[in-house]
Structure 1
Amino acid sequence: MDAQEVARRLRAVCDELAERFYERADVVRTLMVTLLAGQHSLVLGPPGTAKSELARELTGRIEGAAYWEILLSKFTAPTRMFGPIDVAALARGEYRQVFDGRATTAHIAFIDEIFKCSTAALNETLGYLNERIYHPENGGAPIHCPLIGAITASNELPSGEDSAAIYDRLLVRIEVGYLEDPSNFAALVRSAVHRPEGHTRTTVELAALQQAVTEAVPAVAVPDPVVDAVVTLRAALRRKELVASDRRWRQSVRLLQASAFLDGRTEAGEGDLPVLTHVLWDSPAQRPVVEREVLHLVNPDAKEALDLADTIEELETQLDAMAGQSREALSEWVITHAHGRLATAGKRLEQLRREAAAAGRSTATIDRVTGRQRAVRARVLTEALGVDASMVQAQQL
């Protein structure tokens, strides 16, 4: 299977997972890019947002890949992660570990509550993530692990120095939340009652993915204009007092190459820079600043989309503040304030998307803001006007 076919199949996997997991298209693509770059990701969000299910489903599309997952706690022993003691061998006077089915044999790992890693397991976990090695309990030679990338998850940021060391090793950080669009939530509820019809299930062989990670992605060219854009972005973020380490910037280059590969290109372009919005922040409050600086540099129509997102967020805040008011008051607010502004934002977003697509620029940010516009519009229709969520979904299809 040639590189172009591998990229095509991986794009198909992204499309299929984005269709199955509502409001997760950007999450899916970012996780795929991170794997192609041979890096690790953190999915930051509350419980019940399909983090582990998405990791399992993504791994399930890689034929032959070994998957391992664990929920960490402050008491998780290293042997539970990397290999328990072989009791039968111990009875014979031999001290050895059983590695099958543990982190040491996994190609993709999902580590939930990563920042609850125990002190006892910290050094081995860092070695596993950094160097893909594990030092056996009996002091034998280090074991080289076949890990392509780890998907980690947490509902909170690290609070201590030990967990901060792990946080620094997770190059990509993705925020997720509960579903926002009432029509998507209605579809989720229906899926619990009615078994969904069979979906197309594209797969990629493990060997093909490994070859992409080790050969095809590193071969993607990074031209001087992209390097110059990265240098300009670093300077802009420094003016905002957002400083990332040299190591993080260097590792980010592989993400740009992976993004280009996934799109079927042999050369990275400025349109790949938006993936860095998941890399160059430490706290979620910093992410919008990073995103605006990136888009100001590479995508003016996406920057305008973010300005429209501010209007949309303002309307949603007003809707939240009106909770408990009468239907008449809500209806008046919709007529005098919300409807026109949401409609104008929706039309402008459609226009921006057409212009961006015609110019060959990424539409990912515009699509995300459009999703927010639809979600807020759906909330307005269902909560303020009493329209059935199923009818709202039908209008948006």
Structure 2
Amino acid sequence: MKNRIKQLIKHLQNGLLEREEIIALILLGAITRSHIFMLGVPGTAKSLGARRASFAFKDVNYFETLMHRFSTPEEVFGPISLNQLKQDKYIRMIVGYLPDAEIAFLDEIWKSSPSVLNTLLTVTNERLFRNGNKSIKVPLISMVTASNETPEPGQGLEALYDRMLIRLSVSPLRRKNNFEKLLQGSVVEVDTRIPEELAISVEEIDAWQAPIQSVKISNETWDVIHLIRHEIQQLPDEQEVEVSDRRWKSAASLLKASAFFCDRSATNHADVLLLRHCLWSTEENYKPIQKIVEKAVRDCGINIDIDLSLIDVTMNDLESEINDELIMDDDIYMTEIIDDQEYFKSSIETIDGPGIEVLIDAKYIKKDEEFNPCDLNGNIYEDLVCNFHKQRSCKLSGGYTDEYDDYYDVDAEFTAQTIIEKGTRRTDFDIGYVQSLCDQVGDVKVRLGENLEYLQSKIVVAKDELNTPFVPEQVCKVAIKGMHDQKDGLMLRIKECDCLISMCEESLL
């Protein structure tokens, strides 16, 4: 099936430049009975793309018209039968018009009159057309529309616009060499010959609908969809987009069809990238939606048998426990214990007087709080003030009065002497406990390694699995990049495990 679709697209886009994706998506929309809207300035081959796509189907009627504000129902749905009118019957002659067509192209659709647009809503949604006093089933497979603008809000066109599942932004040629080919080459023929064995019949389209719906939406696809929905809700007001439940349902069917025509029984990231063309509604939110979908595919990667967020929590806890057991988490200072209180003992110089011995309360180190030191007997120096200012050194200022009531000014500095610095390896750790922590890190490493091996096997086949005629290869690389990001994340975590294991083993030697 995939080969046939690829060959068909190749014939359809023959002679067209930078329109491969447009042709492919019109074709996918048609064979899933979806409707398509193309946004683009005049002269970008929108109508040519629609006409070319119609040649993919056997024995179908094609209808095309240019809409304008004076468009009448007769131009689109057919003229009133004069013979029937004589019999007081309001019957249209629909042969050769939209109600008789399997494929239709309506250019500049939003410029049409309300009477035409209102009738189109029933035709596109229910495939019914009211002719006289009867509703007839129309053979419409897909309606392709185009305009150089999206519908103005508040004009009652939201329901009709919502029926257009695939929305394509068609820009002028971008590549310099293709622009030169366009100017140098001859006029591109509208008609193209499709080999009989490639052309699609209406009966085949009908037969494909049931197996398409049996395609499974994979867990990886669900992860991406939920992330996309969340990110859309975060868009600012000027880029806001409303995605109806009906649109999500139709989009899911499109993803299933993409997988089906790639000979797969479940969707993958290549299929999800089609949402780039299903969720935007205005020129303002077109690019944000593109970025949201592509980023979601990249960020989700593929499903592995491990929850990395839980692994990170586990690893953080293990690292913390290992550090607490093996590493000094604070400096150890030279102090003296007096009456169950820890002090720094220091000799300080006074200005023009004898030196004095002071006890500095160790609880104030590395704090920003003023306090008074005391003498060796525990008597507070009321006029002498200390402050560590959140450091290991403190300033002593003020003065003191000796036993002869002589006052001496003090302007000195004290620095606490470190016995063991923060970060030094402990020697008094629990060997059994450290071994247990080391084993737990090893278990995590094994799980990470198993998932890395699985991920690497998926990366090897990713290019083939993500190959699809409906999404450009360059866009699909987003999914492959996401897998490589995922692989890098696993490898970094394994490296962290190695560091912790090495740390434990060095201490246990």
Task: Compute the TM-score of the two structures, normalised by the length of structure 2.
Answer: 0.55
- 2:24 pairs, out of 7, 23, 29, with 29
| Mapped partners of 1:130, 1:216: distance in 2 | 22
Give structure 2 stretches of 5+ with no counterpart. Answer: 302-458, 478-509
Paired position in structure 2 for 1:282: 281
Residue of structure 2 equivalent to 1:361: 466
Distance across 1 between alignment mates of 2:80 and 2:218: 51
Q: Deviations over 1:291-335 (max 9, x none)?
A: 222222224699xxxxxxxxxxxxxxxxxxxxxxxxxxxxxxxxx
Question: What SS is found at the alignment partner of 2:37?
Answer: strand
Q: Which residue of 2 aligns with 1:327?
A: none
Deviation of the 1:263 alpha carbon: 1.7
The SS at the match of 1:39 is: coil
Of the three residues 134, 153, 166, the one matched with 2:160 is 166
Is this contact kept in 2: 1:40–1:149, CA < 8 A? Answer: yes
SS at match of 1:22: coil
The whole-number CA distance in structure 2 between the counterparts of 1:234 and 1:221 is: 20
CA contact (8 A) 2:273 2:293 kept: yes
Q: Measured at CA, do residues 99 and 268 of structure 1 come closer, stay the same or move farther in structure 2, by a change above 3 Å? A: same
The answer to whether the aligner puts 1:217 opposite 2:204 as a matched pair is: no
Return the offset for 1:211: 2.3
Deviations 1:269-308 (A, max 9, x none): 2321010011111222322222222222224699xxxxxx
Deviations 1:26-74 (A, max 9, x none): 2122222222322111111011111111111111121111111111112
CA RMSD of superposed structures (Å): 3.0
SS at match of 2:144: strand
Structure 1: 5+ residue runs without aligned partners? Answer: 303-353, 371-397
Equivalent residue letter for 1:128: V
Matched-pair contact (CA < 8 Å) for 1:42–1:152: yes
How far the C-alpha of 1:126 sits from its partner, in A, is 0.8
Aligned AA (2:272): L
Following the alignment from structure 2 to structure 1, what is the Cα–Cα distance between the partners of residues 223 and 476?
Answer: 28
- Residue 149 of structure 2 aligns to which amino acid in structure 1? E
Deviation for aligned residue 1:113: 0.8
In structure 1, the residue corresponding to 2:70 is in which secondary structure?
A: coil
Decide whether the 8 Å contact of 1:260 with 1:268 is kept in 2: yes
Q: Is the 8 A contact 2:39 2:146 kept in 1?
A: yes
For 1:1-397, list aligned pairs within 5 A: 4=1, 7-91=2-86, 95-136=90-131, 138=132, 140-159=133-152, 161-192=155-186, 201=195, 202-212=198-208, 214-241=209-236, 242-299=241-298, 358=463, 360-362=465-467, 364=471, 367=474
User: Quick one: distance in 1 between partners of 2:141 and 2:42?
Assistant: 25
For 1:82 and 1:74, how far apart are their aligned partners in 2? 16
By relative contact order (CA 8 Å, sep 6+), the higher-ranking structure is 1
SS at match of 2:474: helix
Runs of 4+ aligned residues of structure 1 deviating over 6 Å after TM superposition are: 193-196
When structure 1 is superposed on structure 2, of 104-113 and 183-192 the one drifting more is: 183-192
Give the corresponding residue for 2:490: none
Cα contact 1:82–1:103 (8 A) shared by 2 = yes
What is the Cα deviation at residue 154 of structure 1?
0.4
Give the 3 Å change call, closer, same or farther, for CA 271–283 of structure 1 in structure 2: same
Q: Give distance in 1, aligned partners of 2:186 and 2:180.
A: 10
Tell me, in whole angstroms, the C-alpha distance in 2 between the residues paired with 1:270 and 1:367: 13
Q: CA deviation at 1:93?
A: 5.9
Q: Give the CA deviation at 1:112.
A: 0.7
Q: Which amino acid aligns with 2:70?
A: F
Separation in 2 of the partners of 1:283 and 1:356?
37
Taking a change above 3 Å as real, the CA distance of residues 261 and 112 of structure 1, as seen in their structure-2 partners, is: same
Structure 1 Cα separation of the partners of residues 3 and 476 of structure 2: 26
Contact 1:110 1:152 in 2 (8 A): yes
Separation (CA, whole Å) in 2 of partners of 1:42 and 1:157: 9
Separation in 1 of the partners of 2:473 and 2:101?
36
Using a 3 Å threshold, how does the CA distance of structure 1 residues 276 and 90 change in structure 2: closer, same or farther?
same
Residue 200 of structure 2 aligns to which amino acid in structure 1?
V
CA distance, structure 2, for counterparts of residue 64 and residue 228 of structure 1: 41
Deviation of 1:219 after TM superposition, in Å, equals 2.6
Q: Is the 8 A contact 1:67 1:107 kept in 2?
A: yes
Q: What is the number of equivalent residue pairs in this alignment?
A: 310
Change (3 A) 1:31 1:301: farther
Q: Which has more radius of gyration?
A: 2
Distance in 1, matches of 2:251 and 2:213, equals: 12
The SS at the match of 2:186 is: helix
Judge conservation of contact 1:40–1:170 (CA < 8 Å) in 2. yes
Question: Which AA in structure 2 matches 1:122?
Answer: L
Check whether the contact 1:9–1:204 (CA below 8 A) recurs between aligned residues: no
- Per the alignment, do residues 81 and 358 of structure 1 end up closer, same or farther by CA in structure 2, a change over 3 Å counting? closer
CA shift, 1:356, in A, is: 8.6
Q: Which moved more, 1:219-228 or 1:44-53?
A: 219-228
How many percent of aligned residue pairs carry the same amino acid?
28
Contact 2:37 2:168 survives alignment (8 Å): yes
1:43·1:152 contact (CA, 8 Å) conserved in 2?
Answer: yes
Question: Structure 1 residues 191, 243: closer, same or farther in 2, change over 3 A?
Answer: same
Give the match's secondary structure for 1:248.
Answer: helix
CA spacing shift, 1:63–1:236, aligned 2, 3 Å: same
**1:270 and 1:120 mapped to 2: Cα distance?**
41
More strand by share: 2
Q: Which moved more, 1:271-280 or 1:256-265?
A: 256-265
Q: CA deviation at 1:118?
A: 0.6
